[in-house]
Structure 1
Amino acid sequence: MVKLVPRDPGADRELLLATDLDGVPNVVPVIESGETVDDLVLVMPRAEKSLLAHLEDHDGGLPAHEAVSVLTDIASALAKLDGRVVHRDLKPANVLLLDGRWCIADFGISRYADATTAPDTRKFAKTPLYAAPEQWRGERATSATDVYALGVLAFELLTGQVPFGGRYEHELREQHLHAVPPQLSGHAVPLASLVEECLFKPQGARPTPANVLARLQKVSANVKGSGLAALHEANRHEVARQGASHSAASAARSAAEERAALAEVAIRLVTRIGASLREAVMEAAPSARLKESHDGRWTLVLNNAELKFAPPAQTSIDPWGGWQPPAFDVIAHGALGVTIPTNSRGYGGRGHALWYCDAQERGRFGWYETAFMISPMTPKSTSLVPFAEFPGEAAAKAVWNGMAEYQVAWPFTAITVDDLHEFIDRWAGWFAAAAQGQLDHPTIVPERSPQGSWRQH
């Protein structure tokens, strides 16, 4: 197959990219290149068909297992390209079947990930049906932009329709900036949740290409219990009923509006996490009593033990009480704990903080579990060891570079909706120990080294 690229400004970018990406899995390779007076010439293997043609042959979408296979091929390429190249125009016409694998082609408007300026950035070039909110606002595209397009493509593969189908460009702009995509009913919850997250409006809330790939690889092997799966599905419908949306702002969106959009995402995700833990514990211990409050707080009681979930809340923009703020940004927070009647040694249980933040990679937000302790050198004590802290002065002291009376007692540990097994099993174990009178002060604090689990700059 021969492709002629007119010698427009920036056209040599495609030749440069094609040469640089030679050997990247699931990217259509360039066999030879050359030039004429008017065009650059790229010679590529002849593909069997495009994904666009394949979709046209399968009106109504593909079977889920085939769609996941196609998406896995594409995601594997995006994972390799992450940090190197942003495609910026991922769509069915640019995905080709080559030697039994679906490969990404046509890097005509791509750019290197670290490029900031160029004679012709083609910043406003896009395909409206697949363009991410940041492209409509004329903002910098990142790998998250390609993840959004993959989410659109995934929706189309599974349903036969794109999530936003306005007839005119101004309608599509409004939908991509403001509208919530239709729910993917009838599909496995982990797959539907992944597609929904790819279509989140804020870039920082979308999963990374590597995370997308890992989750796609696990979808077909996911064997969650029916009760837990049903709870996930029921919760997704409740979220939809409440009409939660990622209301993207206009091109002049303020920082406060951006935080609100991220907080909305955060609250939806941690609600699922808490609900999954609660359902799993109640399934294992049906005699546990559930106490709920109108603000989303819930407590499970078994014997004298209590498993408590504090509802998430949006974090204020500067909660640190005048202390040096951490290098990362906290968007929302909550807490989780297991408590017992204070024993003879003054021990009453443990608490962990849940923070939605970009603790490990700037601009990449997710829920993290952590906990705090009082320095052994400080004449203070608490019945909870370790304990939760909401973002504030005490927490700022703990994550500070210097020494203070508060310290981090549990590493910042990412929590993802699709992989809660260790998280649920650990908290179920602590709750079981508490109910049997066996929960006691940890032998060593911190129990796991927290060093290097959050970024300092």
Structure 2
Amino acid sequence: MAEKVVLGQVWELGAQIGEGGFGKVFEARSEDGQQAAVKLIDKEPGHERELQFPGKGARNVVPVIDHGEHDGQWAIVMRRADKPLKQHLAEAGGTLPLDEAVQVLRDVAMALADLDGNVVHRDLKPGNILLLDGAWCLADFGMARVADATTATNTWKFGGTRPYMAPERWRQERATIASDIYSLGIIAHELITGTLPFTGPDFRDQHLHADPPALLGVPIAMAALIEECLNKAPQARPAPGNLLVRLDKIQQAPRTGGLAALAAANRDETARHAEAARRESQHRTELESRRDLFRAATNAMTRISETVLDTIMETAPSAQVKRGSRGGWMVTLNRGRLKMSAVQETDLGMWQRGTTPRFDVVAHATIALECDATNWGYHGRNHSLWYCDAQTEGEYHWYETAFMTSPLLARTAPTIEPFALLPGPEARAALESGLDVRQVAWPFTEVDITDLDAFIDRWTRVLADAADGQLTHPSTMPERPTTGTWR
């Protein structure tokens, strides 16, 4: 016998048809034959908010037609929708034609315009947008909050779906309707391109700092609107009413001549505002972000350093190891000494002094090979290890590099070459101009814990040469092409 839920009416449950927010959704039929969907929600603190935020009176919101308690759970009865947008998008092959995408966005914008000032959904995504009576409607208000609420026992500040969460949500700041606009911008990008603008795995850093990819082949008005929705600063995003008006205009005849040029100029201005907002967002979270990045840098270098040391000691067990008090180590084998320093946090002021650097450096270390002086007075080589986004903005890895004195300016043969530099003015000058007294001598090369063979082979080879007294000055400087290895 089918389970019955007794609320204002009696509902007979059918098969489970979905799961969202904090509960499971079942087919349901009333005694008089009305088709519906029943969501059963566990009675945990905060889970009752779907009963409180049904969006009454708002257009394009799936209406709640009955609610109450059933068998120790909250129960919500809603109109039975045809299907969720997530399913529709999959059936369409991952993208929608522009006109259809605009209609979806327009329906949702209409709902947000009616909710503006009253309710913030906070978990907008394709799975929570349902087709009902030919319109795409908002559902699943489990994460919603009353717009003017400032405190609550369970705020669920960090709840949500990671690919769709606005930057302010990652900072655990108060959500506003602008947070929903940001999520709608993510959905718009997905509907038109078939991909999310930010694909993780570090969604937090991407939403806070990364620019979305350029929308190629998309009409300027649409691309500009999506870019504005994805502004890092909430106040720079369009209001729901403005969004609705602009969506209405997008399906009009394309602009030509002066209007097309003006629209392009507007898009450029939007891009400049977006960049300014991105930088503001980055500045606001810089200390927090750098703290997290430094922790990641330290953990990664610990694994790299220990792997190198373990490999050396397994191959040359007669070598002597001395560990530093703050991390790092030195291996001595006959005349050669290989040193790995501890990780240090980069002084932001020193690195950013002067002009804006081409990339960011969070942490640094050195690896150095020292030996007794050879007949030519050569004592070895040092390389810099920098944790930075040297090659792709916002993607941080450990990179190995090194520097040299310009052969046109060197008065005597250096005893250590190439050599390491701290991330600071001297290194900045070497990166900015090939005419400086310092130049890059080793290409920026990622040091990847999953592929250390080449790194270990190079440094164990020079250690072996130093141990046997065979280490010589590099025959050419730089030893490898460096051009284009940093941005």
Select which of 57, 61, 68 maps to 1:23. Answer: 57
Offset at residue 182 of structure 1 (A): 1.1
Amino acid paired to 2:282: A
Shift in CA distance, 201/37, structure 1 to aligned 2, threshold 3 Å:
same
Assess if the C-alpha contact under 8 Å between 2:227 and 2:271 holds in 1: no
1:208 aligns with 239
Matched, 1:122 2:156: yes
**Secondary structure of 1:145's aligned partner:** helix
Aligned mates of 1:198, 1:243 — CA distance in 2 = 10
Aligned mates of 2:273, 2:151 — CA distance in 1 = 42
Residues 291-347 of structure 1: CA deviation (Å, up to 9, x unaligned)? xxxxxxxxxxxxxxxxxxxxxxxxxxxxxxxxxxxxxxxxxxxxxxxxxxxxxxxxx
1:63 aligns with 97
Offset at residue 230 of structure 1 (A): 4.7
Matched, 1:221 2:221: no
1:310 aligns with none
2:47 aligns with 11
Matched, 1:78 2:78: no
Moved more, 26-35 or 234-243: 234-243
1:299 aligns with none
Bigger relative contact order (CA 8 A; separation at least 6): 1
Shift in CA distance, 243/119, structure 1 to aligned 2, threshold 3 Å:
closer
Matched, 1:143 2:177: yes
Matched, 1:185 2:216: yes
Offset at residue 221 of structure 1 (A): 1.8
Assess if the C-alpha contact under 8 Å between 1:137 and 1:251 holds in 2: no
Shift in CA distance, 77/141, structure 1 to aligned 2, threshold 3 Å:
same
Offset at residue 60 of structure 1 (A): 4.0
Show the 5 A alignment for 1:21-420.
21-166=55-200, 168=201, 171-230=202-261, 232-233=263-264, 236=267, 244=275, 246-247=278-279, 248-249=281-282, 252=285
Shift in CA distance, 117/242, structure 1 to aligned 2, threshold 3 Å:
closer
**Secondary structure of 2:241's aligned partner:** helix
Shift in CA distance, 243/27, structure 1 to aligned 2, threshold 3 Å:
closer
Structure 2 regions of 5+ residues with no counterpart?
Answer: 1-36, 288-487
Shift in CA distance, 11/186, structure 1 to aligned 2, threshold 3 Å:
same
Offset at residue 228 of structure 1 (A): 3.3
Offset at residue 185 of structure 1 (A): 1.7
Aligned mates of 1:137, 1:120 — CA distance in 2 = 17
Residues 350-405 of structure 1: CA deviation (Å, up to 9, x unaligned)? xxxxxxxxxxxxxxxxxxxxxxxxxxxxxxxxxxxxxxxxxxxxxxxxxxxxxxxx
Offset at residue 3 of structure 1 (A): 0.3
Stretches of 4+ aligned residues off by more than 2 angstroms: 222-228, 230-245, 249-254
Aligned mates of 2:137, 2:259 — CA distance in 1 = 35
Matched, 1:2 2:38: yes
Amino acid paired to 1:83: G
Moved more, 23-32 or 240-249: 240-249
**Secondary structure of 2:67's aligned partner:** strand
**Secondary structure of 1:33's aligned partner:** strand
Assess if the C-alpha contact under 8 Å between 1:27 and 1:77 holds in 2: yes
Percent of matched pairs sharing the same residue: 53
**Secondary structure of 1:65's aligned partner:** helix
Assess if the C-alpha contact under 8 Å between 2:60 and 2:111 holds in 1: yes
Offset at residue 12 of structure 1 (A): 1.8
Offset at residue 225 of structure 1 (A): 2.3
**Secondary structure of 2:64's aligned partner:** coil
Assess if the C-alpha contact under 8 Å between 2:228 and 2:270 holds in 1: no
Return the TM-score normalized by structure 1.
0.52
Aligned mates of 1:67, 1:202 — CA distance in 2 = 25
Return the TM-score normalized by structure 2.
0.48
Amino acid paired to 2:46: G
Amino acid paired to 1:214: V
Assess if the C-alpha contact under 8 Å between 1:28 and 1:45 holds in 2: yes
Aligned mates of 2:166, 2:91 — CA distance in 1 = 27
Structure with more of its chain in strand, by fraction: 2
Aligned mates of 1:30, 1:242 — CA distance in 2 = 40
Offset at residue 252 of structure 1 (A): 4.7
Assess if the C-alpha contact under 8 Å between 2:227 and 2:274 holds in 1: no
Aligned mates of 1:37, 1:148 — CA distance in 2 = 38
Aligned mates of 1:235, 1:109 — CA distance in 2 = 35
Shift in CA distance, 222/80, structure 1 to aligned 2, threshold 3 Å:
farther
Larger Rg: 2
Aligned mates of 1:242, 1:94 — CA distance in 2 = 30
Assess if the C-alpha contact under 8 Å between 1:137 and 1:250 holds in 2: no
Aligned mates of 1:252, 1:49 — CA distance in 2 = 39
Shift in CA distance, 226/186, structure 1 to aligned 2, threshold 3 Å:
farther
**Secondary structure of 1:249's aligned partner:** helix
Cα-Cα RMSD: 2.4
Aligned mates of 2:47, 2:184 — CA distance in 1 = 25
Offset at residue 232 of structure 1 (A): 3.8
Assess if the C-alpha contact under 8 Å between 2:170 and 2:204 holds in 1: yes
Moved more, 1-10 or 233-242: 233-242
